[in-house]
Amino acid sequence: MRALDDGVDGIRDTDGMAVSSGPDGTAAVGRGQQIDWLYARIYCAGGDDTDALMPRLAHWLDAVRAHWPIRSAHFLRFVDLRGHHLRLRVQAAPDTLDEVFARLDILDAAARRAPVRALERLVSDPLTSGGGSGRPGVACAVYGPEYAKYGGPKGAEGAESHFDISSRWCLDNRVWKVPRPVGRVGLVARLLANAAVAGPLPADELLAAHLRMWGYRLPERLRDGAALGAVVRQVLEFPLNGTPGWEHADELTSQVADDAARTVGRIGAGAGGRRALDLLHIDANRLGVNPAEECVAGVCARYLLGGLGVAGASARG
């Protein structure tokens, strides 16, 4: 990996590659080209503050898209034995991916400089709270599209197209600026509510299935109406529209929610809505909530749509 300048300004089209521009000003991928994936994991130095990595990722990815023909790019958050990290997947022609790979040292350096912080959580989730080894930096791996989860190659391609749109939305709107922990859960609640209304399944059916899917991740103390209702009320009362840049949070979240609904319409919702829920789970993950917090957000979404009073909130669907 050759050394570059410290910032993304080190990215240059040094090989004189002929690159056409798409309608949004980014480089366009030629039709019929062979394509492949680059898959990189960007690790925190410790803690779980993947938000600290996102401003640099946003700047880096904007520059990469401007200089090379990228077909698709998306990220999600994850934790493994090494620690919390962002998983970045970039799809392009192999020669382009060689150029992108050569610039991963910018993200590697950013990960090593990022502050170490343990995030405050509305609800802790033991399955995602591990700290790992705390070794920062970038590690590459092999990406295999999840054909079984999304209904075959066409379904996986449709899901990846949505992931590209959702990832751009997160980075363009600087989701890392939304206050944690309550405001972030409130943002996910609005996303789920809008997606439930726009999607092909009845909203109450989808959100009930969401609660059945993620309710087991709630701690025992929240598995009754009174305790869970207090947490739900806290989220619903948070003034998200008072956050700079999020004065129109419902309209903003409807952008990515509508695309999620269109994607589910194309690839199918799956048995019991499972495929739709898997897609929305990745969207919630990008916003930075753990599965237990996502469960709370789903209950809040039911209330936002008028299907459940706060006092009646329950983890039993």
Q: What is the pLDDT of residues 47-64, one digit of tens each?
A: 999 999 999 999 999 999
Per-residue pLDDT for 18 more than 50? no
Q: Residues near 167 by Cβ (< 8 Å), separated by ≥ 6?
A: 73, 74, 75, 286
List b or e across 201-220, with b for residues whose CB sees 16 or more CB atoms inside 10 angstroms.
bebeebbbbbbbbbbebbee
133: domain CATH number is: 3.30.70
Q: In the predicted model, what is the mean pLDDT of residues 220-227?
A: 88
Indicate the residue among 141, 158, 177 that finishes a domain: 141
Is 181 a member of any domain? yes
Which residue carries 């600087």 as its tokens?
174
- Residue 201 in contact with residue 288, Cβ under 8 Å? no
Per-residue pLDDT for 311 more than 60? no
Which two structure tokens, joined as six digits, stand for 135? 């070794």
Indicate the residue among 141, 162, 195 that finishes a domain: 141
Helix (H, G, I), strand (E, B) or coil at 19: coil
- Residue 197 in contact with residue 203, Cβ under 8 Å? yes
Is 100 a member of any domain? yes
Which two structure tokens, joined as six digits, stand for 314? 């329950």
Indicate the residue among 141, 168, 197 that finishes a domain: 141
**Would you place residue 314 in the very low, low, confident or very high pLDDT band (cuts 50, 70, 90)?**
low
Is the domain of 60 the same as that of 160? Answer: no
Is 287 a member of any domain? yes
The domain containing residue 135 runs over which residues?
Answer: 8-141
- For residues 287 and 277, what is the distance between their CA atoms, to the nearest angstrom? 15
Burial class (CB in 10 A: 0-12, 13-18, 19+), 25: exposed
DSSP type of residue 27 = B
Phi, psi of 15 (to 5 degrees): -90, 5
* Half-sphere CA count of 105, side-chain side, radius 13 A: 13
Is 12 a member of any domain? yes
Which two structure tokens, joined as six digits, stand for 32? 């019929």
pLDDT at 133: 73
DSSP type of residue 55 = H
Per-residue pLDDT for 102 more than 50? yes
- For residues 206 and 135, what is the distance between their CA atoms, to the nearest angstrom? 39
CA distances from 219 to 79, 130, 236 (A): 20, 16, 20
Is 2 a member of any domain? no
Q: Residues near 23 by Cβ (< 8 Å), separated by ≥ 6?
A: none
If you compute the radius of gyration of the chain from its CA atoms, what whole number of angstroms results? Answer: 20
Q: Out of 30-34, 149-153, 284-288, which region has the weakest mean confidence (pLDDT)? A: 30-34
- For residues 259 and 166, what is the distance between their CA atoms, to the nearest angstrom? 8
Q: In the predicted model, what is the mean pLDDT of residues 155-180?
A: 98
Is the domain of 157 the same as that of 230? Answer: yes
pLDDT at 312: 42
Is 267 a member of any domain? yes
Is the domain of 105 the same as that of 250? Answer: no
Is 317 a member of any domain? no
Helix or strand (DSSP H, E) at 38: strand 36-43
Is the domain of 50 the same as that of 132? Answer: yes
Total of domains in the chain: 2
